[in-house]
Amino acid sequence: MTTQNVTIPALSGGSFSAYLAAPSSQPCAGIVLIQEILGVNNTMRQIADDYAKAGYFVIVPDLYWRLEPNVQLDADDKDQWAKAIELLGAFDVDSGVKDLKATLSFLRQYPSSTGKVGSVGFCMGGKLAYFMATRTDADANVSYYGVDIDKNLAEATKIQKPLILHLSGNDEFVSPSAQATIQQGLKDNPLVTIYRYEGVSHGFSRVGSSAYRKEAAELAGDRTLAFLKQHLG
């Protein structure tokens, strides 16, 4: 496996950086890995490395580049978490989706890519993974504890490719009523699979954090890898 930082031209002009992890054996499919509100930090790079070891090109774009490039924050540091919430409030979702579209194109055209590319996103990135399903032609998409999906269900009719939603049973940012709305709104869509993990909070898959819950994280991880293998190869 090799890693490097690459530069991606933005659709609206300018460019942004991304962390790219490439597997040893190629050609292979790709994954656009979508950051939490914490930026492209060690956690995101480690997840990218793990997916690369599983045989995928993985790219993590810096979606905060318009606000502040190279943000790397820790969820368990109170001041850094406050900064993350501040960045989230200033983040423009539509611009972020355009950057993800540019990243998707970049990875599809990357040397030794099979052209099949999916997305996996966490937290804010979980919401954006849902938008990857509704607004792009990504081949498969996985959302971990995505926020505000309940407010964007009108877009669900545009889903053309398979989507997994991993929901945290005790998510402090996605209320039980919001989760019920999501499940009710998507239950008849054959492309959408929803998994709910009881007794865990937001961020349960964030290794090394206080929110991490090994059993749920490993189950969600196994389901995700099987899903990606099925739809990306």
Which tokens belong to 59?
A: 């790219």
Of 50, 79, 202, 222, catalytic: 202
Most distant CA pair in the chain, distance = 45
Residue 171 appears among annotated catalytic residues: yes
Query: What are 8's strand-pairing partners?
Result: 16
Of 171, 188, 222, 231, catalytic: 171
Which tokens belong to 121?
A: 């996103």
Q: How far apart are CA 159 and CA 131, in angstroms?
A: 9
205: exposed, middle or buried (Cβ count in 10 Å: 0-12, 13-18, 19+):
buried
Residue 202 appears among annotated catalytic residues: yes
Which residues are part of the catalytic machinery? 171, 202
